[in-house]
Amino acid sequence: MLRELAENPPCIECGLCREVCPVFTILRQERISPRGLAILADRGIASVVFYQCTLCRACRVVCPVGHDPAGEQVRAQVVAQGVETEANRTMIENIRKYGNPFGPLEEGEIPKTLTCC
């Protein structure tokens, strides 16, 4: 179970998170594993790689020290440094302009594609 964190313990790089990450288990590349993202975040690397995290936090559930990937904050920092995917930019623009992530819709229209990060 997830608990509220008084502090976020740093990643100890054990790698036990790899096999619960739904993105890693498909791509099997360290940079998109929770451990890889933690290493990159620790180095202050601004990269579109952070957009590949689903923010599901399965990694935090199995993490032996309870490290939270804090994907939202990391992504906010990345955006602040001007690193953003086209999909993320479009999604935010749609929300600001049309109040939804899909873009302009006719009354009652069901969107055919979901644009997200």
Partner 1 sequence: MNLASLSALVGEANISTTVEDRIVYSRDASRLEGECLAVVWPSHPEQVAGLVAWAEAEDVDLVPRGAGTGLCGGATPQRSVVVDLSRLTRIGPVDAEQRRVQVEAGVVLGSLNRRLAPHGLFLPVIPGSHRASSVGGMIATDAAGLRAVRYGTMADWVEEVTLVDGLGRWHHLTGEALRDAVGREGVTGFVVEAVLRLAPRPAQRTLSLVAFDDLAALLAQRDRWLADPRLTALEYLNRHAAEAIGWEARPHLLAEFDSDGGEIGDPDRIAALWQARDGLYPVLARRGYPVIEDPQIEGEGMAALLAWLEAEGIPTFGHLGVGIVHPCFSADDERVAALYERVAAEGGRVSGEHGIGLKKKAWTDAAFRAEVQRLKAQYDPHHRINRGKLC
Q: At its nearest, how many Å lie between partner 1 and the CB of residue 67?
A: 9
Point out which span in 45-53, 68-76, 91-99, 103-111 binds partner 1 (CB under 8 A): 45-53
Point out which span in 26-34, 69-77, 84-92, 101-109 binds partner 1 (CB under 8 A): 26-34
Count of residues near partner 1 by CB under 8 A: 25
Following DSSP, what letter does each residue of the chain receive, concatenated?
-----SS-PPP----TTGGG-TTHHHH--GGGSHHHHHHHHHTT---GGGGG-----HHHHH-TT-----HHHHHHHHHHTT---HHHHHHHHHHHHHSSTT----TTPPPS-----
Interface with partner 1 includes 16 (CB under 8 A)?
yes
- Which residues would be at the binding site for partner 1 (CB under 8 A)? 9, 12-19, 28-31, 33, 35-36, 39-40, 43, 45, 47, 49, 62, 64-65
